[in-house]
Every structure is written in C-alpha cells, then in structure tokens.
Amino acid sequence: MSALFDNLQVLFQGLALGSIYALVALGFVLIIRATNVVNFAQGDFAMLGAYAIVTFLVGLQLPYVVSIILALLVMAVFGMLFNLGVYYPLRNRSFLPVIISTLGASIFLQNTVLAVFGPQPKPLDKILNIDGIQVGGVFLDSQYLVILVVTLFAVAFQYFFFEHTLLGKKLQATSQDKDMARLLGIPVATMIAITFIYSAALGGLAGILVAPILFVSIGLGSIIALKAFAATIIGGFGDVTGAIVGGLLLGVIESFAAYYISVPYKDAYAFLALFLFLLLRPQGIFGERVSEKA
Amino acid sequence: MKAEELKAPSAGASQGKLIALLVLGALIPLLPFLIPVSQYTLNIFMNAVTYAVAVLGMVVVLGYTGQINLAQAAFFGIGAYSVALGTVGWGLSFWMAAGSGIVAAGLAGLVLGLTTLRLGGHYLAMITISFQQIFDLILVNWVEVTHGPDGIAGIPRPSVFGFVLADDRFYLLFCVAVLYACIAFVWWLPSTRLGRAMRAVRENELAAEVVGVHTLRTKVFAFTLSAMLGGIAGALYAAGFAYISPDNSSFARSIEFLTMVLLGGVQSPFGGAMGTVLLILLPEWLRFLKQIYLAIYGLAVILIMVFLPEGIWGLVRGGWRKLVPERVPPRRSVPPLDFDAGRVADGKPIMRITGLQKHFGGLRAVDGIDLEVARGSVHALIGPNGSGKTTSLNVVNGIYSPTGGQIVFEGVDVTAMKPHQRAGLGMGRTFQNIRLFQSLSALENVMVGAQRDNNPIPGGRRGLEDRALAALDFVGMGENVHMLVKNMPYGHQRMVEIARTLAGHPSLLLLDEPGAGLNQTEKQELVALLLRLRGHGLTIFLIDHDMGVVEKVSDRITVLNFGKKIAEGAPAEVLRQPDVIAAYLGEAPVHGPA
C-alpha cells in the first residue's frame, strides 16, 4: 500500500515538474511556429520572471498578486525588446545566425543578472499560505497544486485565444505562411512581436511558478529550457499538443528515474529519453515526417 | 598565347609573400628564446595556442559546413581527460594517451553526428548542449575515475625524440607547430572534394544532395573532424598546464569557443586563430570587466551576428580586397564537353515509372502515373498549376518518397534511393527556383556537380576543373568562372545551374521549368541550348509552362491534370486535344473562380 502511495507521490511531483516544462515548451513552440527558429533564451525568460517576482515580492514588499501581475507585465515588455534587439535585425537571414544570436542573448542575460543580483540563490515563499494537503498517503504540496491548476488554465486560455479570436487566427496565419499572411493585410512583423511578448510572459509565468520550489538562481532557466526543448522534440517538433504531452511525460520520467535509480544524474535522464526518441522516433509523438519543398 | 594561359604570371610574387609569411610565423614562437618573457605571458600564449586548435574545429563544422556545435569544450575535455587519466592514472606515454583521446573525441563526434545530423540545425544545437551537460555531470559526479571537481594534477609533459619538453618555451614551440599544421590542414580543406561538398551543404543542402553529395556523410565527417581538433587541443592543454578540471570543459567554455570563431571569422582558419588570440588577450587588457566578461561575450555574439557576420577576418579581407583587387587567374582552354563517354544506345526506355502516387494527407498530388522516357528523347511533362508536375519530379529524383508505385532508372529500381544515390546513377536535375551554392564561384559550383559518384574523371582536381570549365563553356558561361554566383544575373545563374548538372555527365537530365523568369532573348538561348543537348543524344525530361519552348524542343509530351495523366503523344497532336485545351483553359470541369 505504501509503495503505491510512494509511486503516486512521485507521479504527482513529476506532473507538476512536467507542467513547468510544458509551459516553457509552449513558449518555444509558439516562437518556432512564428519564426522557424528555436529561441535559446527561452529558459532565461523563466529565469527573468523568477527574478522579477523576487524583486517585487521580497525587494519592494508588494502583495503576491500585485507582484505577479507586475512581473508578467515586465516580461511582456521584455519580450518586445527581445524581439527588437535579438530577432528583428536578423529576420531575413538564415536560421543559424538567429539561433546564435538568441544563444548570445541567453549568455548576456544570465551574466547581467548575475552582476546585478549576485551569485547567492534566493528563496521565495509559496503562493498559498498553507504547506499542502494530505490525501490518503500522498502529500499534495500547495505550490505543486498551484502549478498544475495554473498550467491547466494557461493551456485552456491559449486554446481559446488561438482558435476563437481574430488575433489568434492572424497569429496562426502568420506562422503557417508569412507571405500569404502579408498579402492578406496581416501585419506580420507585429504578429511576430506579439508572439515574442506572449512567449516571454509564458516563460515568465513558468519562472514565477517554479521559483518557490527551486531557489532562484541564474541557472534556473537553462536546465528547464533544455528539458522543455527535449519535450518539444519528444512531443513533435513545433506541435502544441506535443509540447504539453512531451513536457508532462518528461517530468514524470525524470521523477521516477530520480526516485528509483539515482539523484545526482537526475538531469541526465531527460537527455537520455531525448536520445532514445531521436534514434527511434525522431518526428516525436505527434509529429509528421517533414521534407523540404523543392 | 596558350603557354601564357597555362602559366600563372605572378607565381613568383605570391611565393615571395608565402615565404615571408612562413618566416614570420616561425619567428613568433622563437621570440621567448630571444627576449626574456614572464611565465605568466608564456601561460597566456599556451592558452591561446591550444584553444586556437579547438576553434579550428569550429571553423570546419560551423564555418565550412554550416552545422552548429555547442559541445566543442566536451570534445576538448575528452582529449584533456584522456591525457590526464592515461598518463597519471595508467602510466601511459603522452603520445599513447593523446592518440587515444583524439580517437575517442572523434568517435564521440561520429556517434553524436550519426544520430542527429540527419535531423538538421535545431536538433544539433540542442543535442550538442545536452551532450555537453551530460559530459559535465559525469566529470563532476564520477569521482572514482575523474576525481570529480578537484580535477587531476601532475600531468607530465611529452618527450620528442627522447627530449622532454619540460621547458615551457619548448613546449610552446611544439604547440605552435601543431597549431600551424592544423591551420594548414583547415586552410587546404576547402579545395578538396570533401571541402567543396561541405561548403555545398552549408550553402544549400537540398541542392548538394540532388547533385550527388552524400550530405549526411559529409556532415558527419565535418563533425568528426571538428571533434578531433577539439581532442587535440584538449590533449595539448592538459600536458601544457599539468592540471585539468571540469571547469576546462564546461558549457561556458563551449560558448567561448563559439564566440572566438564568430569574432575572428568563421570561414577562415586565420580568422578563427585571430579570434582566439584576441579573446584570450582581451580579458587581460580589460581586467575591470572580469566580473561581467561573459555578459560582454553574449552581447558581442549578438552584435557580431548583426553587424559583422564574417567576423574581423572578413572585414580585414574585404578592406584588403578594396585596396588590392583580387587577381583573377587566367583560365585555360579545355577540350569541349564530352557527351559520348559511356553512352548507351540500346533503344530501351531509360526510365520507367509505374503507378506512381504521392499523397499529402488527403491531397492526391500525384495519383497513379505510368510513364516511360525513351532514351535519347526530350520528354516534356505539362499541365495546369497544381496538376502535380513538380511533385512528380520531386518523387522521381528522390526528394519525396512516393506513397506508392515504382521508378526504374537505367534498369535499377531507385524507388527507395536517396537523391544523391540517384545522382550517382546519372540522374541530373535543375530547380524551378534556382538552387546554386550562392557563396561559391561558378567554377566551384560546377565542380561539385562534376565530382558525383561513378563519374570517373582522371587528373584529380585539375581534371575536375577541366570538366567544369568544359560544362561552363558549353552553356556559354566560360568567362568570369571565378565570379561568385550570388553576384551573377538571374539568367546566368540558370545557365550555371544547368552546367553544374552537365558536369556530372548525366544520362537523364531533369529540368524543372528551365524557362521560368527568363526574358524572350534568354528563352531563345535556352531553346537553342536544349536543342544542342538533344543533338548530343542526351535524354531530357522537362517541365515547362511555356508551350513555345515545349513544342520546339520536345519529342513527346505527357499532360497531367489533378495528379493523373490525361494525354500523351507527339507535341502537335497532344496540344490540339480538346481535353488538354479544356484542362488549361478551364472549360470543363468547372471549378468556380480561381
């Protein structure tokens, strides 16, 4: 019986962790679809979100809700600046300069934050005042519950936004065929800017949610981003459902492997899963084999 | 005249420059023997020289081949730890340990490359980062073997012919010699078959595959070479500093290597070496930035990408070229292009397509086509927009794999073959929207076409060049062969693309709308060229919209509509069939306004 509870406990943790990967992975996928480029600073969006909430909540002593809203606003503005500084000047070049540029941005952001906030990791209170609830033999940590619920809402919001609003449809059109979208009068540059803003806010949200569980440090984002990217490949490159499923799956795999095999190599399991997928099913769970059009 | 053409006029001058360069290069590492230099300075230079070797690997993989490698520090680490563990742990000689380290780095690169390189850029970036992270985790956590974060100390120096390089000045001399050898290799590489294939992959992977480059193998070679250079660098570093720790092969170090190569110039070994020396020396000069030097690196990477895509070396070379215009070597005259070698005339069809299908989801772009192309004929495939012409061509040469059906070419079932294998059997192709290797010269573009498999050309590089020049002559592009194709007008680019295919001595030439985008004069020249090719007995299978062109050159026409064959025969009869006219003019069936 207790073994069952232990497994449920691990599963619960894995799903919560996986939700964070899924949120960051969603940001990845949106930018991939809009620009055909992987944003290597996606994880640093989460890192910045976490530092923003630390600044507002701990530094300025603002209430939690206000801090979250302000942090998300900061991230939205940052997303716009990121687009202008890192992507826009290179939009007409091939993908290689762009991903190198986002990589440079990632290094720049991490080390700038390091210079400003120092190397000391910062702890953060949970969003809810209670520690968690006990259901049978399983302890449900309140922050993990918050992560699961917020992720659910974020995914539902995104579905509604993309499928049932005009702006969402314009964004979809942009991601599918930029030239055609342009001919139809859709301002493509603006749509891409919106994608970056939304994606930065989403990454920031992941950082805000995960901050109370992990200490806030400059490396917070990179390891999440690597796993989120692994999630997008496992789910199917550029596929929205795939990003969510891949993220959750990876979180669960990682939690169980850490529990049953060994903790120090916790971060390696995700990559092993990734290698296996690349070898056996490179198009991912939901992906189709794509070939370049001649 | 001919004798002059064959002899480069100023070979003496360039030889003089080369000798000056060599003397200068030899003098630099000898300087510490002549003037007193502090230990600290020697260390900085040892650092720069060993890193430069790793950065040369980045030139090969990123600069030449256009593939990203964010694990160069891990390959560096494999070399370094092999030397450390081999000499300190197992008592091997430096040479044994370094040799196995370089092989191990190469093997790691090979395995990583084989698993990921067929998937392309983004995957490679992420996988190399992942590999780098796992490598780090292992170095730190597998304490019994790697000594964990403490690292390994007391690594001995190698000996050369019984002389131990204990003196730092001698060891630096040794490292510089290795660096020069590596620079020479990397500098020589682009003019080899492999080097040309690498650059073709970088410029246009699909086109490279279609003209016969084994693109996967080329990328894996490049990646392996790059990893081996990383291993050499690590081995030199470990013995040089006698100590190695996980910090030496961290992700941050990989980013440093990347920044070095981007700053110096990714396309040239000299640029890579220059970038390394600059970035090693800069932090020494800008000591006050020590805290945030990585932030500056990050910013520098973005700024280089935006403002200086070819790095400092590109800038220097560009400025130099403005002052001293490049001397174009006079081209030699070559015998005309040979069409007859190995030509078969058995009267059998050269290609037989049966029941060919290609579906995209629910869309039946090609829906069961049977077709035979007679040897020595010009066969045109026509049809309205969206009738499946280009899709058919893409299936025929292997860019798409068919949903059903069979393609037999020269008696071989090629249905499951990759495009480069089909090119190796003699299937050549051009593209509707020209796909040349933009940053290569016309001559190099055509040489890539000439070097396909099963196209025996005697005489090595010179033979390939002759073949390419002959092909360029044939299409009337025999002048300015050293011009980069991106600087050529559209019509000329189209001709160079045809020449690239012809140089591969194809038995079947697939032309995808060769007339698209050409003006009337250029179209007339194209028709004349096609008729000349037909006169030489070359089999041509072409798509075009211009009925004037099609009618003038074709022996036989196949008409497609909605992925199906609706007519076939001689041009005069086919083009007058009512259902063909209906398909083009849209009389029946009616599909509403377009």
As beta bridge partners, residue B430 has B511
- Per-residue pLDDT, B590: 47
**Is A108 within a domain?**
yes
**What is the structure's pLDDT at B1?**
37
If one counts every other C-beta atom within 10 angstroms of the C-beta of residue B458, the result is 9
Q: How far apart are CA B199 and CA B436, in angstroms?
A: 11
- Tell me the whole-structure pTM to 2 decimals: 0.83
pLDDT digits (tens, 9 = 90+) for A106-126: 889 988 998 888 888 888 888
In this structure, the strands spanning B427-430 and B508-512 are parallel
Residue of B115, B118, B126 with shortest CB distance to A229: B126
Report the alpha-carbon distance of residue B170 to residue B42 in Å, rounded. Answer: 11
Q: Residue A156: which domain range?
A: 20-218
Do B306 and A90 lie within an 8 Å CB cutoff? yes
Q: B residues 502-561 near A, CB within 8 Å?
A: 512
Residue B342: its pLDDT value, please?
63
Window 10-39 of A, Cβ < 8 Å to B: 32, 37-38
Interface test with chain B among A94, A111, A237, A265, by most B beta carbons within 10 Å: A111
Which class for B462: exposed (0-12), middle (13-18), buried (19 or more C-beta within 10 A)? Answer: exposed
Query: Which residue of A lies nearest to B400 if distances are taken between CA atoms?
Result: A291
Q: Does residue A171 form part of some domain?
A: yes
Give pLDDT tens digits for B156-192. Answer: 888 888 788 888 888 998 999 999 999 999 999 999 9
Facing residue for B121 by CB, picked from A96, A229, A292: A96
Structural domain includes residue A126: yes
Pick among A91, A94, A96, A107 to test the B interface (most B CBs inside 10 A) = A107
Pick from A93, A111, A229: CB nearest B294: A111
Residue type for B572, please? A
Distance CA A263, CA A269 (A): 10
Inter-axis angle of helices B168-188 and B11-34, nearest 10: 160
B399–chain A nearest CA distance, Å: 8
Reply yes or no on whether the pLDDT at B535 is more than 90: no
Q: How is residue A73 written in tokens?
A: 């606003």
Q: What is the mean pLDDT of the segment spanning B480-491? A: 90
Please say if the pLDDT value at position B2 is more than 50.
no
Average pLDDT rounded to a whole number, residues A272-289: 75
- Listed by number, the residues of chain A in 248-287 with a beta carbon closer than 8 Å to a beta carbon of chain B are 264-265, 267-268, 271, 274-275, 278-279, 282
Q: CA A180 to CA A174: how far, in whole Å?
A: 8
Report the residue from A112, A278, A294 with minimal CB separation from B123. A278
pLDDT of residue A1: 58
Residue (of A43, A51, A44) closest to A70 by Cα position: A51
Within a domain: A78: yes
Residues 6+ apart with CB under 8 A from B540: B377, B378, B379, B508, B509, B511, B530, B533, B534, B553
CA dist B194 and B187 (Å) reads 13
Q: In this prediction, what percent of chain B has a pLDDT beyond 70?
A: 93
Copy the structure tokens of residue B303. 């700024």
The CA–CA distances, whole Å, from B78 to A202, B133, B137, B259, B365 equal: 38, 13, 14, 21, 50
Residue A294 pLDDT grade (very low, low, confident, very high; cuts 50, 70, 90):
very low
In this predicted structure, the answer to whether residue A293 has a pLDDT above a threshold of 80 is: no
Which B positions 350-409 lie with beta carbon below 8 A of chain A?
390, 393-394, 399-400
Rounded CA gap, A48 and A208, in Å? 9
Interior/surface letters B471-495, b for 16+ CB within 10 angstroms, e for the rest? bbbbbebbebbebbbeebeeebbbb
Cβ–Cβ < 8 Å for B420, B205: no
pLDDT value at position B176? 92
Write out the two tokens for B513: 């709308």
Q: For strand B349-360 and strand B243-244, is the pairing parallel, antiparallel, or unpaired? A: unpaired
Concatenating the DSSP letter of every residue in B322-389 gives: HHSPPPPPPPPP-PPPP--TT-----SEEEEEEEEEEEETTEEEEEEEEEEEETT-EEEEE-STTSSH
Type and span of the H or E element at B151: none
More confident residue, B471 or A37: B471
- Number of Cβ within 10 Å of residue B386's Cβ equals 14
CA distance A75 to A61: 19
Residue B18 in this model has a pLDDT that exceeds 80? no
| Structural domain boundaries in chain B | 43-248, 349-585
Q: Which of A29, A100, A109, A233 to mutate to test the interface with B (most CBs of B within 10 A)?
A: A100
Give SS3 for B47. helix
In a domain, A86, yes or no: yes
- Rg of the Cα trace of chain A? 19
Q: How close, in Å, is residue B115 to chain A by CA atoms?
A: 6
Pairwise CA distance, residues B179 & B153, whole Å? 24
Residue whose pair of structure tokens reads 């001689």 in the numeric block: B570
Interchain CB contact of A73 with B (< 8 Å)? no
- Residues in A touching B116 (Cβ below 8 Å): 278
Residue A231 lies in a domain: no
Look at A107 and B295 and tell me if their CB atoms are within 8 Å: yes
**Cβ contacts of B512 on chain A, cutoff 8 Å:** 294
DSSP string, B204-221: -HHHHHHTT--HHHHHHH
Tokens of A76: 């939205």
Backbone angles phi, psi at B58, to 5 degrees: -65, -35
What is the count of structural domains for chain A?
Answer: 1
Name the residue in chain A with its Cα closest to that of B309. A97
Chain A residues with CB-CB distance to B400 below 8 A: 291
- The whole-angstrom separation of Cα B5 and Cα B129 is 51
The verdict on B143 touching A (C-beta cutoff 8 Å) is no
Q: What is the pLDDT of residue B29?
A: 78
pLDDT at B82: 94
CA distance A73 to chain B (A): 24
Residue B552 has pLDDT above 70, yes or no: yes
Task: Please return the burial class of A57, using the count of CB atoms within 10 Å of its CB with bins 0-12, 13-18 and 19+.
Answer: buried
C-alpha span between B534 and B379 (Å, rounded): 11
Identify the burial level of B184 via C-beta atoms within 10 angstroms of its C-beta, where 0-12 means exposed, 13-18 middle and 19 or more buried.
exposed
**Which strands form B363-374's sheet, in the order they lie side by side?**
B363-374, B349-360, B404-409, B412-413
Q: Determine contact, residues B139/B77, Cβ cutoff 8 Å.
A: yes
Q: What is the DSSP string of B242-265?
A: SEE-GGGGSHHHHHHHHHHHHHH-
pLDDT score of B4: 39
Predicted-assembly ipTM surpassing the 0.90 threshold? no
Least CB-CB distance to A226: which of B129, B141, B258?
Answer: B129
Q: Which helix or strand (DSSP H or E) is residue B540 part of?
A: strand B539-543
pLDDT tens-place string over residues B83-93: 999 998 888 88
> Could you tell me if B126 lies within 8 Å of chain A, comparing CB atoms?
yes
pLDDT at residue B288 in the model = 66
CA distance A204 to chain B (A): 21
Q: Is the pLDDT of residue B583 over 90?
A: no
Q: Where are the alpha helices (DSSP H) in A83-129?
A: 95-117
By the CB < 8 Å criterion, does B115 face chain A? Answer: yes
Instruction: Please state the rounded mean pLDDT for residues B403-408.
Output: 91
CATH number belonging to domain B349-585:
3.40.50.300
Structure tokens at A64: 């939690």
Residue A59 belongs to a domain: yes
Q: What is the mean pLDDT of residues B329-336?
A: 83
- Taking the Cβ of residue B70 and every Cβ of chain A, the question of whether any pair is shorter than 8 Å is answered with yes
Q: Which helix (H) or strand (E) holds B169?
A: helix B168-188
CB proximity under 8 Å: B 153-212 to A: 206, 210
With respect to residue A234, please indicate whether it lies within any of the assigned structural domains: no
With contacts defined as CB-CB under 8 Å, which chain A residues touch B127?
A: 274-275, 278
Give the pLDDT band (50/70/90) at residue B214: very high
Q: Which of A269-273, B10-14, B503-507 has the lowest mean pLDDT?
A: B10-14
Region A187-205: mean pLDDT is 90
Report the DSSP pairing between strands B163-164 and B159-160.
Answer: antiparallel
Query: Given this model, what pLDDT does residue B13 score?
Result: 52
Q: Residue B341: pLDDT above 80? A: no
Chain A closest CA to B303's CA: distance in Å?
A: 8
Q: If you count residue pairs, one on A and one on B, with CB atoms under 8 Å apart, how many are there?
A: 129
Optimal mutation site among B67, B119, B122, interface A, most CBs of chain A within 10 A:
B122
